[in-house]
Structure 1
């Protein structure tokens, strides 16, 4: 009879994601993960995943699935409202931004499962990038965002807002709106 697992896959991924966020992918190890889980045994981890790469890639995919689901709910009819909504959403998922910075560090040669998960993450990243590009293009076509600023610059500045510390201690949505207004005044049509 198989031994009962001391934690679920969801609990494992929650713990792993938190460790990756706090310590970074390079410092993430199965020993540390086991210490933070209920059983403390690495053998239980192997019932779900073969190695560190698979766990990290699964965390990234899960975070990306959450983000894509939220992004799909954004109404793109009014580009400025869509950009504001996306900024709010990305700020709610700010940890994703940090986690995705490590996706290319995953050694996909260690596991076909990890390689597949990374491909899926990159595909979803492309979906989000396409959405943002489409919205910026619409905003530029409508003349509500300057046409003389290349998309890559607009998007880079837009994403820097996510990393801006909330020094004013405003509620998250209010902080996102405040930063959006500052960003827009710098790139909006006068």
Structure 2
């Protein structure tokens, strides 16, 4: 008799996300996933038709998490909005790794997969537009340098998101340090 499924869809997606971060798209397969959840591999198919559908659903869920955090940011004070945005991205620091997988997912066979891919792409555009809008406004308000293109400032901003927290401090403290470095640099005086 085979193993009985004792995992939920959320647990399945959690394990999928961890394995995608660790092994990437190419290294991820359903056998590996079944080794990390307590249940039979065949049970995965009760939730998702195939690997592609599962991965697309996992990436969609990651996009939903960041969109929920971003949509509640108050943009009244542009610098507070940038700080809150950095914190949201630091909370979801593995997002770039997860999002990079979506370009490899083949969605031709599944309308669910196609819908998830479309959702992720639209969400990515919304995130980019929101941050570009805030940074442009910060430049207009002369709170960011105007001699540097917004895209360059944005690139450096995202580089900070990927900096590992080697100090092991809280996300609040890490965000504060990185934001200060991003905004003021590291020079004296």
SS, match of residue 138 in structure 2? helix
Task: Answer yes or no: is 1:24 the counterpart of 2:9.
Answer: no
Q: Report the TM-score, using the length of structure 1 for normalisation.
A: 0.90
Aligned to 1:150: 149
Partner of 2:166: 167
Alignment length, in residue pairs? 182
Contact kept? 1:91, 1:162, Cα under 8 Å: yes
1:76 is displaced (CA, Å) by: 0.6
SS in 1 for 2:75: coil
SS at match of 1:168: coil
Question: Could you tell me whether the CA contact under 8 Å between 1:6 and 1:44 is conserved in 2?
Answer: no
Structure 1 pair 167–5 and aligned structure 2 pair: CA distance change class (3 A)? closer
Per the alignment, residue 6 of structure 2 pairs with: 6
How far apart are 1:185 and its partner, in Å?
A: 1.5
| Cα distance between partner residues in 2 of 1:65 and 1:123 | 11
TM-score (norm 2): 0.91
Q: Distance in 2 between matches of 1:6 and 1:179?
A: 41
Task: Decide whether the 8 Å contact of 1:68 with 1:124 is kept in 2.
Answer: yes
Corresponding residue SS for 1:160 = helix
Please tell me whether the aligned partners of residues 138 and 144 of structure 2 are also in contact (alpha carbons under 8 angstroms): yes
Q: Distance in 1 between matches of 2:7 and 2:183?
A: 46
Provide the rounded CA distance (Å) in 1 between the counterparts of 2:26 and 2:154.
27
Partner of 1:70: 69
Aligned to 1:87: 86
Alignment map for 1:111-122 (pairs within 5 Å): 111-122=110-121
Q: CA deviation at 1:148?
A: 2.0
Corresponding residue for residue 15 of structure 1 = 15
For 1:123, the equivalent position in structure 2 comes to 122
Shift of 1:112: 2.7
- Find the aligned partners of 1:147 and 1:76 in 2 and give their Cα distance: 20
Question: Does structure 2 retain, via aligned residues, the 8 Å contact 1:53–1:110?
Answer: no
Q: Which runs of 5+ in 2 are unaligned?
A: none
Q: Distance in 1 between matches of 2:103 and 2:119?
A: 13
